[in-house]
Amino acid sequence: MTKLLFHIISGILGLFLASRFVPGVEFRGDYKMLLLIGGALGIINFFLKPILKAISLPIRILTLGLFTLLINMALVWIIEIFFPENLEIVGFLPLFWTTLIIWALNLFFGLYNPKKKHV
């Protein structure tokens, strides 16, 4: 449950940061729409990404894991397609940087594991 919450938080925060700092990424809407779109991205990352990673395992092995970046970019692009009036990502580089921000936030939140006991 915490992992799903972290995916949602990183989706919301990643889209917010990308809209502020990445040229070519524009978010139009209020904070409720940001919560909805970021939440949708977090849910898609939590449920759909493991399936896509399992299906593409041979390609990921051949590319030494770089194909995972394309999977992440495709998921962000799908969110942009579903919410065209609120989220606009123009071009490949803004999509790449947005994906990189969200990936870094997922990595940061993934380091936190409350069930792990430090000895």
Q: pLDDT of 48-67, one tens digit each?
A: 999 999 999 999 999 999 99
Contact 10, 109 (CB under 8 A): yes
Contact 19, 25 (CB under 8 A): yes
109 band by pLDDT with thresholds 50, 70 and 90: confident
Token pair of 33 as six digits: 């729409």
- C-alpha to C-alpha distance for 41 and 45, rounded to whole angstroms: 6
- C-alpha to C-alpha distance for 88 and 4, rounded to whole angstroms: 25
